[in-house]
Structure 1
Amino acid sequence: MKLLHIDSSILGENSVSRKLSAAIVEQLKKKHSNLEVDYLDLGTKDIPHLTGAILLGQDVEQSRLGEELVDQYLAADIVVIGAGMYNFSIPSNLKAWVDRIAVAGKTFKYTAEGAVGLATNIQKAYIASSRGGIYGDSSPADFQEAFLKQIFNFTGVTNIEVFHAEGVNISPELKEKALQETLEKISHI
């Protein structure tokens, strides 16, 4: 069984979403003794933002990178994404990754009835989310978790679980409380 673990925070060791995603991966390792983990750190791996030349296949090097990212995504049985909320959305490096894996004919196709996801081999996706403020589960300001759920659904992944720690920038005490409460929830995977 293959797990694709993606972190997108630029905060390194200070990242709450990285701590949460690592905890999810550790729990899954306990459940699945045969788990192979493929790690992608978007905080250190440069994936240039989509350009016309990349989209049209005119940049051979970037086209090859896009194919590698799609293949990596499609090879996974489980995906774990660590994503902090950056200005109400996902980090731009994660958006660059999304733009490379949302590829017509590879991870989705258009039909007369609408788009159909093709990444149906991915059994489950976990989103490890951190937020500086407190937004709640149905906030109109959530362009982070809702966006990631939409991308997973769009590509055919429908079994999605979100673990989030909120209020992590309000105070050190609230950060620690939110982190511990979310880690406790993760321990029950």
Structure 2
Amino acid sequence: MKTLIINAHPDYQNETTFSAKLQQLFLQHYQTICPAEEVEILNLYQTEIPRIETTQLLKIWEKEGQQQEMTRDEQKIAQRSKALIAQFKAHHRIVIVTPMHNFNITSRLKDYMDNILVPRQTFKYTDTGSVGLMTDDYQALLLQASGSVYTNDDRYTALEFSYHYLKGMFEEIMGFDALHIVRAQGTATTDEATVMQQAANDLTTPLSTMYNI
């Protein structure tokens, strides 16, 4: 079962971040339960991600809709966006590694989502609303680091837009069976050992579900 790790941390090479520690924690468990499998890692801040701008995706979508000829640069952008969709669809297990930025996902992760949320590719429109097309045993796991705690049912809980956005897009729009979450939270106020031990405990159930162990 092919797994794609999408690393959305701007400082993806920094192994001291909690996001990096979450990714390493996942890989340690993954190598134990799937020793014959290799994961593919996509570092969003290391790769070209087309954006919704007048000179990029907006122009591409307009020309595709009107069947107009594209410039060489526009063709490159279109090909890159299609490659991201193909890579995404080829992996039935998606792992997103990201910090929380101002209660939401990172800007490059939003750019990535804009490339994969494409009608007739990952969902389709119908007369009664959109329908997900990623229904063939697709599951996702969000590994998220945050300075505050968002599970105490207090004022921060309602401000946690990142998880609710991704859960809605993956499950409700694209049709994934599930988007699980494991948090390294409270990193600004809690010691690292406690944070990571809780994350390790929380990882057990999603892994069992995703990889049938």
**TM-score above 0.5, yes or no:** yes
What is residue 169 of structure 1 aligned with on the other side?
188
**Kept in 2: contact 1:128–1:164 (CA 8 A):** yes
What is residue 96 of structure 2 aligned with on the other side?
81
How much does 1:145 deviate?
1.0
Does the C-alpha gap of structure 1 residues 33 and 185 become closer, same or farther in structure 2, counting only changes over 3 Å?
A: same
What is residue 8 of structure 1 aligned with on the other side?
8
Matches within 5 A, 1:46-65: 46-51=48-53, 52-56=58-62, 57=64, 58=70, 59-65=74-80
* Separation (CA, whole Å) in 2 of partners of 1:16 and 1:54: 37
**Kept in 2: contact 1:25–1:80 (CA 8 A):** no
Matches within 5 A, 1:72-111: 72-111=87-126
What is residue 145 of structure 2 aligned with on the other side?
130
Amino acid at match of 1:7: N
Where does structure 1 lack aligned partners over 5 or more consecutive residues? none
Identical pairs, percent? 27
Amino acid at match of 1:145: Y
**Kept in 1: contact 2:19–2:99 (CA 8 A):** yes
How much does 1:23 deviate?
2.0
**Kept in 2: contact 1:76–1:121 (CA 8 A):** no
Aligned partner of residue 114 in structure 1, secondary structure: coil
Higher strand share: 1
**Kept in 2: contact 1:24–1:80 (CA 8 A):** no
Superposed CA RMSD in Å reads: 2.0
1:180 aligns with 2:180: no
Aligned partner of residue 125 in structure 2, secondary structure: strand
Aligned partner of residue 113 in structure 1, secondary structure: coil
How much does 1:30 deviate?
2.3
What is residue 133 of structure 2 aligned with on the other side?
118
Matches within 5 A, 1:17-36: 17-36=19-38
TM (normalized to structure 1)? Answer: 0.89
* Separation (CA, whole Å) in 1 of partners of 2:38 and 2:60: 30
* Separation (CA, whole Å) in 1 of partners of 2:109 and 2:159: 18
* Separation (CA, whole Å) in 1 of partners of 2:104 and 2:180: 18
Q: Residues 3-38 of structure 1: CA distance to partner in whole angstroms, max 9, x if unpaired?
A: 111111123323212321332233233223442311
How much does 1:157 deviate?
0.7
Q: Residues 73-124 of structure 1: CA distance to partner in whole angstroms, max 9, x if unpaired?
A: 1000111100211011000010010000000000000112211111223532
Count of residue pairs brought into register by the alignment? 187
Amino acid at match of 2:99: G
Amino acid at match of 2:160: D
> Which structure has the bigger radius of gyration?
2
**Kept in 2: contact 1:76–1:122 (CA 8 A):** no
How much does 1:48 deviate?
3.6
How much does 1:187 deviate?
4.9
TM (normalized to structure 2)? Answer: 0.79
Aligned partner of residue 119 in structure 2, secondary structure: coil
